Structure 1
Amino acid sequence: MDINVKQPINALIYVENVYEGNLSPNSLKAIESIPWDDWIKAWFDSLESISNLKQDCEIGLRLTGDLQIQALNCQYRSIDSPTDVLAFAATEADIPLPLDIAEPLYLGDVIISLDTAKKQAQEQNHLLTTELAWLASHGVLHLLGWDHPDEISLEKMLKQQSKLVHLSKVRQN
């Protein structure tokens, strides 16, 4: 009998909190307690069967405010307004990657505005941590080559994000 043991993907997650805004101490404490490494590693493991990710990888996660993300949004997308999340993929999804790379594969960076996340959490009537899981999962999916140029693609991506957010909630409890 053949038994396939699924090898988890090792992920290095670099979290940089450069937020300089007016969030309450309770909100900042909740953000600091988020188990980002656990969440993202679990997401990679759950996505392994539907993505081409077969090796160790690393990503950067930057938590910032509206002013900083607006500057990046203007510089890279020519949109002079804040946004909730930006993802900067380091590789193109259609480029085949060699499987024998010894170093972890750098996937790119996800940048989240904590100011916008807080507003959206209030509008959606859920916790800030839930909104941050939603935004981070969206960014991670973009780093893995997912996109939403049309309604069908968007619906698939939102469905996958929901699964990842649920996985985050299970991990946090």
Structure 2
Amino acid sequence: MRKVKMSEKKTPKIYMSFRNNQKAIEVPNGLRTVIRKCIAETLRVTDFVGDADVSVTLVDNERIKRINKEFRDKNKVTDVISFPLGAYDEYDVNPENGAYMLGDIVISMEKAHAQAIEYGHSLVREVGFLATHSTLHLLGYDHEDDPDGEKVMLELQDLVLNNLKITRE
């Protein structure tokens, strides 16, 4: 098998359903494109082979808190939640587009906005970070149960955002 240089790797096609189910924070122009690019670049740098189908939903703090309580038994607001449909190269294929179905990403725009202010960077950068982070979870990366996972994820997140020139400003 021939090793492929990073520059030769094909960027996967992303089939992304996108829903804005919140009204608290105005969604910046181009945010959907940034999210798509972050997902694609995350797949590229992790050597994911094939096209991907991902659902992204923007919600408010109240909704993400309910989701966090229902699915993770944590009664608190969080910034992003991932719902992987597979991991480690075991994914169903969407018969409509032939892409691997990775799962769902749910982002709290209120929390992302607050974190962008706290960290001193743009909302676009914060949402790009969260989309990248969540995509890594869809691929099976873990920072909660894997002691080395946090370091690996941080390195990959930095690589993706730097490659896309999404900086902290």
Give percent identity, aligned residues only.
25
Task: Quote the residue 2:129 is aligned against.
Answer: 134
RMSD: 2.6
Greater Cα offset, 73-82 or 54-63: 54-63
Q: State the SS of the aligned residue for 1:107.
A: strand
1:90 aligns with 2:81: no
Report the count of equivalent residues: 158
* CA deviation string 1:5-61 (max 9, x = no partner): 64432221111111132x3xxxx252x32213233223322222xxxx322211011
Q: State the SS of the aligned residue for 1:82.
A: coil
Q: CA deviation at 1:138?
A: 0.5
Task: Quote the residue 1:18 is aligned against.
Answer: 21
Q: State the SS of the aligned residue for 1:60.
A: strand
TM-score by length of 2: 0.81
Q: State the SS of the aligned residue for 2:141.
A: coil
1:164 aligns with 2:146: no
Answer whether contact 1:43 1:167 (CA < 8 A) is retained: no
1:145 aligns with 2:164: no
Runs of 4 or more, structure 1, over 4 Å off, are 2-5, 95-99
The separation in 2 between residues aligned to 1:136 and 1:16, in whole angstroms, is 14
The one-letter amino acid paired with 1:89 is P
1:67-82 mapped onto 2 (5 Å cutoff): 67-82=62-77
Task: Quote the residue 2:30 is aligned against.
Answer: 33
1:95-134 mapped onto 2 (5 Å cutoff): 96=90, 103-134=98-129
Higher relative helix content? 1
Task: For structure 1, list consecutive stretches of 5 or more residues without a partner in the other structure.
Answer: none
Answer whether contact 2:83 2:138 (CA < 8 A) is retained: yes
The separation in 2 between residues aligned to 1:117 and 1:130, in whole angstroms, is 9
Q: State the SS of the aligned residue for 1:79.
A: coil
The one-letter amino acid paired with 2:152 is K
Pair member with larger Rg: 1
Greater Cα offset, 138-147 or 155-164: 155-164
The separation in 2 between residues aligned to 1:58 and 1:134, in whole angstroms, is 19
